[in-house]
Amino acid sequence: MKVGAVIITMGNRPEELRALLDSVAKQDGDPVQVVVVGNGSPVPDVPEGVRTVELPENLGIPGGRNVGIEAFGPGGRDVDILLFLDDDGLLARHDTAELCREAFAADPELGIISFRIADPGTGETQRRHVPRLRASDPMRSSRVTTFLGGANAVRTRVFAEVGGLPEAFFYAHEETDLAWRALDAGWMIDYRSDMVLYHPTTAPSRHAVYHRMVARNRVWLARRNLPALLVPVYLGVWLLLTLLRRPSRPALKAWFGGFREGWTTPCGPRRPMRWRTVWRLTRLGRPPVI
């Protein structure tokens, strides 16, 4: 199976990007084809053979990754598997691409693999990086209902069937939107603890737009994908959880602003998942109300 990799960068991590590219080049098996997308910035120097695309403006995470997908032909059809890797990450092992080939070849229903993210210094994995509710044991691999955006592998047939990432989201929840559409189309998602991306421990709230976009995109996610009966339940649960976490006053103000924006702005085409998919999500341990 042919493997490609999409890496988006804003050009501000040249050393980390080079280390990541070196770790991709060291993968066992056939070479991984790589495209680096400069998201509104020039691409730093890259090794020979790495293709680059420089965008005149920042299209956000999903927009930049969609450009990378299309660099491998419509829907990424020139390869069978695409890796999506954060530019400050590093593949910890040389066999990750081979493990992906083996996993997709062995399971024709498998559409997406979520890697384990570990801090390069401590080896620890944050709970938020384990894409399931029971996240206390990051070393346990399992079927899941979503995946990590900067550490994953996707069978390109998924994009051919359900389309790419939702570009309007710009940042936050674009992975869950794709995951729900993939699950509704019959694909499965695995979390694999043996496929590791080293990445420094960070807090998502470091981004200035975090609280607004998390809230706005949560509403868009529900409006686009959930049956009408579940939309108020899902959003009501997340409103309650947000209040229980007791964010700061400025953060809460930004969150409510984004929540309101999610209702008053277009969210893209609505394709509510089937109730059979709701039941599948529930059986996998994460009903689409939380």
pLDDT in tens, the chain (290 residues): 999 999 999 999 999 999 999 999 999 999 999 999 999 999 999 999 999 999 999 999 999 999 999 999 999 999 999 999 999 999 999 999 999 999 999 999 999 999 999 999 999 999 999 999 889 999 999 999 999 999 999 999 999 999 999 999 999 999 999 999 999 999 999 999 999 999 998 777 555 589 999 999 999 999 999 999 999 999 999 999 999 999 999 999 999 999 999 999 999 999 999 999 999 999 999 999 98
Which residue matches tokens 């990378």?
Answer: 68
- What distance in Å separates the CA atoms of residue 61 and residue 153, rounded to the nearest whole number? 16
- What distance in Å separates the CA atoms of residue 158 and residue 156, rounded to the nearest whole number? 5
pLDDT in tens, 75-111: 999 999 999 999 999 999 999 999 999 999 999 999 9
**Domain segments of the chain as ranges:** 3-202, 205-272
Model pTM score = 0.96
The predicted structure's pLDDT at residue 150: 96
Residues 6+ apart with CB under 8 A from 58: 10, 39, 40, 41, 64
pLDDT in tens, 226-264: 999 999 999 999 999 999 999 999 999 999 999 999 999
The predicted structure's pLDDT at residue 205: 56
Buried b (16+ CB within 10 A) or exposed e, 118-149: beeeeeebbeebbbbeeeeebeeebebbbbbb
Beta-sheet strands, E only, within 30-163: 33-38, 51-54, 81-85, 90-91, 110-118, 142-144, 151-155
Measure the CA dihedral 85/251/138/115, to 10°. -10
Closest CA to 25 of 48, 8, 42: 48
CB distance 58 to 40 below 8 Å: yes
The predicted structure's pLDDT at residue 207: 56
Beta-sheet strands, E only, within the chain: 3-9, 33-38, 51-54, 81-85, 90-91, 110-118, 142-144, 151-155, 188-198
The predicted structure's pLDDT at residue 206: 54
Which residue matches tokens 């359900």?
Answer: 162
The predicted structure's pLDDT at residue 20: 98
Q: What is the CATH number of domain 3-202?
A: 3.90.550.10
CB distance 201 to 221 below 8 Å: no
**Beta strand 81-85 pairing with 3-9:** parallel
